[in-house]
Structure 1
Amino acid sequence: MTIQARIGEITERIVRRSHDGRSRYLDRLRAAAEKGRVRNRMGCANLAHGFAACGPADKSALMAGEVPNIGIVTAYNDMLSAHQPYEGYPERIRQAARERGAVAQVAGGVPAMCDGVTQGEAGMELSLFSRDVIAMGTAVALSHQMFDAALYLGICDKIVPGLVIGALSFGHLPGVFVPAGPMPSGISNDEKARVRQLYAEGKVGRAELLDSEARSYHAPGTCTFYGTANSNQMLMELMGLHIPGATFVNPNTPLRDALTVLAVERALAITASGNVFAPIGEILDERAFVNGVVGLHATGGSTNHTLHLVAMARAAGIALNWQDFADLSAVVPLVARVYPNGSADVNHFRAAGGLQFLIREFLAAGLLHRDVRTVWGTGLEGYTVAPTLGEDGRLAFAESPAESGADAVLRPASRPFQPTGGLAVLDGNLGRAVIKTSAVKPDRHVIEAPARVFHDQEELQRAFKAGELDGDMVAVVRFQGPKANGMPELHKLTPPLGVLQDRGYRVALVTDGRMSGASGKIPAAIHVTPEAAEGGPIARVRDGDRIRVDALAGTLEVLVDPAEWATRLPAEADLSTNGWGVGRDLFAGFRRSVGPADQGASAL
């Protein structure tokens, strides 16, 4: 089936808007590709430095100059459960490359923060900026120009977007993203959320809370809820940068290992000396980004990608904007219920048919661009197959089942959970914002209530614990934007606001900060721009002002007499403590130069 008309129109609109920037990007990419293998033209001392530490066979191969060399950019550390499995990947990749007549080298490492560790702590103020650091680190790793292709080892929140941005600065190189997979399922996400709320109410203690969290986050692998990390992995598959079906295979399994070896094979196949040259900058075109946004809406993915996808697209010369997200949301059905949009986790989603089922359904309905380039060497139809290991231990691919294995988790496009996507964009006299509606009950899609204004999440927490929040309200948490303090996630607001909603109050959140990709049942207008630190309208709100958050109409309004509103001066906040401690002093330049949320909140 051809692409659905409205999706086709939006794609063409993006192509037209991006024409000049994309043309300049592709001209640079093709000029770099035409130079061929740079290391063959290096000075002998330069090249000798590049292979000095290699073993004899790899050194001889690189001296001869004929074999492909794969650069590995790794975000390994053994504090992140998602990234710990990468520890042994370089040697596995090197061995697979040697067996295929090639060489592989670790080109460099990039930092990988765990937002789960830094939630509510000062370190979270470095989190969003770490994306740009990772992009720069990727460029540093590849700047040696020793490589014919690259493998990118990264999973979590800012890491994949940073790797993509860095990879696109070397867009003439083919690249394959190599996941490590989610940890096995622990306690249910509903149970985890229940204990968190009990703790927020003072009904259980720290020991009970820590036991619950440890039974949820309990093994190597990605956290199993559908937050930014797993949304990243969905995007890499929908955008053609994974081996088909690689996304949600558990770590440290024979199938996972076989898929990693296959990633090496594909990276070699798509080099300039392989069968089909596929530079990553050409794979990630306008259609690939539209497919990514469609996947985000269809699965109720992370709100963080209204920042990351915009920044990633810009790195490829593509002008993607929030209006594109909103217009695609209007025509893309929500077909997945994975926590926080439901009780299932990503292991249950995969067992129900996963991305292979979704891709086949959406291709048949014309909701995804079929004729895209991928690292698999096919259009997107090549991603309807799921990997398996045969009795002989060999990797094989089979069509996923025609029916969902769990109707409460994954549905066909013809019978969705709701007819529109999981994200909406709000506009009004408070600015622009994003809201995730897929996990919010329909009777909460419109909230009108008096404002309670806070300048950080700790202030709201104190008011909650003191019993001061005992009615309908719109919590306005401001001075949390990228220029103010790096735009931290405000995930610790979820339990107290959830408690208030469960008590029957009509509650919403409005903030120029971020919520976790796992933000759930509370209607939250986030990423408000212009931010308070730039004198945006959110800085003029006062306690008691009536605010209307309307996800149905797509509006965000303060209901104050226009004449009074026009004369109000913005509040100010003391931001001096954001400038030091836990490395924050090193990021002052980022805070000064960062762009607004609707342009990707990037300092690059």
Structure 2
Amino acid sequence: MSTVPLNDTVRRVTERIRHRSKERRALYEQRMENQHSLGVHRGELSCGNLAHGFAACGEVDKGRLKLMNSANLGIVSSYNDMLSAHQPLAPFPDIIKEAARAMGSTAQFAGGVPAMCDGVTQGQPGMELSLFSREVIAMATAVALSHNMFDAALYLGVCDKIVPGLFIGAARFGHLPAIFVPAGPMPSGLPNKEKARIRQLYAEGKIGRDELLEAESQSYHSPGTCTFYGTANSNQMMMEIMGLHLPGASFVNPNTPLRDALTRFATEQAIRNSEPGGNYRPFYRQIDERSIVNALVGLLASGGSTNHTLHLVAMAAASGLTLTWDDFSELSGVVPSLTQIYPNGQADINHFNAAGGMSLLIRELLGAGLIHGDIPTMMGTDLSASYTQEPFLEEGKLVWREGPLKSHDEEVLRPVASPFAPTGGLSVLDGNLGRGVIKISAVEAKHRRVEAPVRIFNDQNQLKGAFEAGELDRDVIVVVRFQGPKANGMPELHKLTPHLGVLQDRGFKVALITDGRMSGASGKVPAAIHVTPEALTGGPLARLQDGDVVRLDAESGTLDVLMDATQWHSRQPESANIEGSHFGLGRELFAGFRHLASGAEQGASVFGSFEADDLTLEDASIRELDA
């Protein structure tokens, strides 16, 4: 592609991140260089260490591991056979090992990481472990790679917290080349519009559980990732637009010859990228502020998951970079909405892929100067050279061809010249109720400004009773508080969606405000989420009372209680009994995580700044530096 000047706002935000992160990024790079100088593979191990490291290997692999002149790949996988997204990963280690041996190298399964599904735990106590599973995955990745046996690593994962956790782990082992290997989405099932209709009928009591379960089973029906555009598929988009996937690898269905060929090629490329392979390309030299901005722009252009206002901040921090919600907001003002994938439309991720998929999305963003085409990728080329291509099998051989020049379905994927909306699908809200984010790509313009009395809930399970009693049949802003990371691990509150959707369909003005999360499939009801400071720490939501009038305005980016300032600030924050969220189903094991968790805008992370504590920047300091 011809070189297109970078958009001024994209350039400014990128430079601002670089400037703000200068000291911590320098520390990060120095630490990665130091680790590399100490030895990135088994050559630094003693004979006793090394013997333990290959004791279970076959004779061929043992011989190669002894010689030290070939690459040994570490496999880190989120496989389990209960969850559809991860079950297809079962044969990947054998495919990888076979491909490595064919290259004269070796691969070892370094370790597994947990993979939980928000779809299973939604509305259940287990959901309160969900966000912190990201940190567990990052630490499990570190444990898996701690044996220092590896010249490069392959990270096998797909869904919500798994890919961010793997990315954080990969960043802290940034001296190793890294390739992320996806499993792909399940084939399309029950249309999303019909699924949403059935859920609302159930919420209204018009159908029973049998009918609901049948519809859900037709939606989530086979191995592979769920096909709506939530956090899992947003993860895949981000990995590809950052050059950590093979071009076109994100949305190839599982258990197909093309999927297996891509896994084999990823193995071969990891070997080529290793130091023994002769083209050393470590993670820390590949991922920088340009890559993070590309991920952010891709997220905005595609209407991706709100969960990444947490995850991408934490991922950037692990790479020595400081990302803020102001960066999201400023970029959202210039990045057009190019897709309509459920919940932003009725199409699913397979329809997106058929319409032109990642190759066309990247081509359009490059052509408009909205992403950095010069970032290095795991292919050994920059993004613009390889990532407008798609993979195919020709007589069993994997090849790449240029992807489509225009969309095959403009109801799903549009060019920059005629977008669904001129701005991104995400806004930052700020006001006397704190700061939060809202996904507006699925919210009709007429619903983006809601002014109504609030109804307060300190537990999401209380809402169902109020709904069934008819207490919410009015204009209402529902506030569900004490759901932040320190309170109960910041669960998703997606089970509220059908009830709120019914109220909106009845003609009422409805919105949700919470210091918790919504699903990556945040939908048609305006929802101010991740509100910070959280209620448990005395945040403004703790001062709200039933009947207070609040205005949520996604167009102007404001979130305010309409009350005299003196009266508002004279109120004392209320407390809530949240002990029930601290015990049972293992929640007591996460007490330390709740205590250490940062605020939502810092990624709700327990890891702190990663670099020296004296480089930690508070919100106000960051904004002052930016100014």
**2:347 equivalent in structure 1:** 344
Structure 1 alignment gaps of length 5 or more: none
Are the counterparts in 1 of residues 41 and 151 from structure 2 also a CA contact under 8 Å?
no
State the number of aligned residues: 603
1:57 to 23, 42, 60: 60
> SS of the residue aligned with 2:563?
coil
State the Cα distance separating 1:203 from its structure 2 match: 0.4
Q: Aligned pair 1:384/2:388, yes or no?
A: yes
**2:589 equivalent in structure 1:** 586
**2:622 equivalent in structure 1:** none
1:519 to 522, 539, 560: 522
**2:158 equivalent in structure 1:** 155
CA displacement, residues 544-572 of structure 1 (integer Å, 9 cap, x when unaligned): 11111111111110101111101101111
State the Cα distance separating 1:38 from its structure 2 match: 3.9
- For the residues of structure 2 that align with 1:474 and 1:288, how far apart are their CA atoms? 38
**1:175 equivalent in structure 2:** 178
**1:413 equivalent in structure 2:** 416
Q: Aligned pair 1:401/2:404, yes or no?
A: yes
Structure 2 letter corresponding to 1:26: E
> SS of the residue aligned with 1:373?
coil
Structure 2 letter corresponding to 1:532: A
Q: Aligned pair 1:258/2:261, yes or no?
A: yes
Q: Aligned pair 1:190/2:157, yes or no?
A: no
Structure 2 letter corresponding to 1:43: S
Are the counterparts in 1 of residues 303 and 424 from structure 2 also a CA contact under 8 Å?
yes
Q: Where in structure 1 do 4 or more consecutive aligned residues deviate above 6 Å?
A: none
> SS of the residue aligned with 2:155?
strand
> Which runs of structure 2 are paired with 1:535-554 in the superposition (5 Å)?
535-554=538-557
Q: Aligned pair 1:477/2:480, yes or no?
A: yes
Structure 1 letter corresponding to 2:44: R
**1:290 equivalent in structure 2:** 293
Q: Aligned pair 1:279/2:282, yes or no?
A: yes
Q: Aligned pair 1:118/2:155, yes or no?
A: no
1:370 to 362, 370, 373: 373
- For the residues of structure 2 that align with 1:184 and 1:543, how far apart are their CA atoms? 45
Q: Aligned pair 1:136/2:139, yes or no?
A: yes
State the Cα distance separating 1:273 from its structure 2 match: 2.4
**2:503 equivalent in structure 1:** 500
Structure 2 letter corresponding to 1:162: G
**2:328 equivalent in structure 1:** 325
Structure 1 letter corresponding to 2:552: V
- For the residues of structure 1 that align with 2:228 and 2:284, how far apart are their CA atoms? 30
Q: Percent identity?
A: 63
Structure 2 letter corresponding to 1:384: T
> SS of the residue aligned with 2:411?
coil
> Which runs of structure 2 are paired with 1:97-112 in the superposition (5 Å)?
97-112=100-115
2:454 to 448, 451, 456: 451
> Which runs of structure 2 are paired with 1:531-570 in the superposition (5 Å)?
531-570=534-573
- For the residues of structure 2 that align with 1:31 and 1:489, how far apart are their CA atoms? 40
Q: TM-score if structure 2 supplies the norm length?
A: 0.96
State the Cα distance separating 1:275 from its structure 2 match: 4.0
**1:82 equivalent in structure 2:** 85
**1:16 equivalent in structure 2:** 19
Structure 2 alignment gaps of length 5 or more: 608-627
Structure 2 letter corresponding to 1:167: A
CA displacement, residues 566-595 of structure 1 (integer Å, 9 cap, x when unaligned): 110111100111111000000000111100
- For the residues of structure 2 that align with 1:380 and 1:191, how far apart are their CA atoms? 38
- For the residues of structure 2 that align with 1:201 and 1:475, how far apart are their CA atoms? 18
Are the counterparts in 1 of residues 70 and 277 from structure 2 also a CA contact under 8 Å?
no
- For the residues of structure 2 that align with 1:499 and 1:461, how far apart are their CA atoms? 12
Q: TM-score if structure 1 supplies the norm length?
A: 0.99
Are the counterparts in 1 of residues 78 and 86 from structure 2 also a CA contact under 8 Å?
yes
State the Cα distance separating 1:274 from its structure 2 match: 2.3
Structure 2 letter corresponding to 1:91: D
- For the residues of structure 2 that align with 1:6 and 1:581, how far apart are their CA atoms? 48
1:424 to 427, 430, 434: 427
Distance 1:474 1:531, change over 3 A: same
- For the residues of structure 2 that align with 1:266 and 1:410, how far apart are their CA atoms? 30
CA displacement, residues 252-280 of structure 1 (integer Å, 9 cap, x when unaligned): 00000000001001101111122432111
- For the residues of structure 2 that align with 1:555 and 1:90, how far apart are their CA atoms? 49
1:310 to 313, 338, 361: 313
Structure 2 letter corresponding to 1:594: A
Structure 1 letter corresponding to 2:242: M
**2:625 equivalent in structure 1:** none
Are the counterparts in 1 of residues 74 and 107 from structure 2 also a CA contact under 8 Å?
yes
CA displacement, residues 199-254 of structure 1 (integer Å, 9 cap, x when unaligned): 00000000000000000000000000000000000000011100000000000000
CA displacement, residues 449-474 of structure 1 (integer Å, 9 cap, x when unaligned): 11111111111111001111110011
State the Cα distance separating 1:393 from its structure 2 match: 1.3
CA displacement, residues 377-398 of structure 1 (integer Å, 9 cap, x when unaligned): 11111100011111x1111111
Are the counterparts in 1 of residues 164 and 312 from structure 2 also a CA contact under 8 Å?
yes
- For the residues of structure 1 that align with 2:137 and 2:222, how far apart are their CA atoms? 25
State the Cα distance separating 1:30 from its structure 2 match: 1.1
State the Cα distance separating 1:37 from its structure 2 match: 4.0
**2:600 equivalent in structure 1:** 597
Please identify, of 273-282 and 155-164, the stretch whose mean Cα deviation from structure 2 is larger. 273-282
**1:48 equivalent in structure 2:** 51
CA displacement, residues 104-133 of structure 1 (integer Å, 9 cap, x when unaligned): 000000000011000000000000000000
- For the residues of structure 1 that align with 2:42 and 2:398, how far apart are their CA atoms? 34
Please identify, of 268-277 and 8-17, the stretch whose mean Cα deviation from structure 2 is larger. 268-277
- For the residues of structure 2 that align with 1:358 and 1:65, how far apart are their CA atoms? 42
- For the residues of structure 2 that align with 1:319 and 1:357, how far apart are their CA atoms? 30
- For the residues of structure 2 that align with 1:333 and 1:95, how far apart are their CA atoms? 44
> SS of the residue aligned with 2:154?
strand
> Which runs of structure 2 are paired with 1:215-230 in the superposition (5 Å)?
215-230=218-233
State the Cα distance separating 1:401 from its structure 2 match: 1.4
> SS of the residue aligned with 2:76?
strand
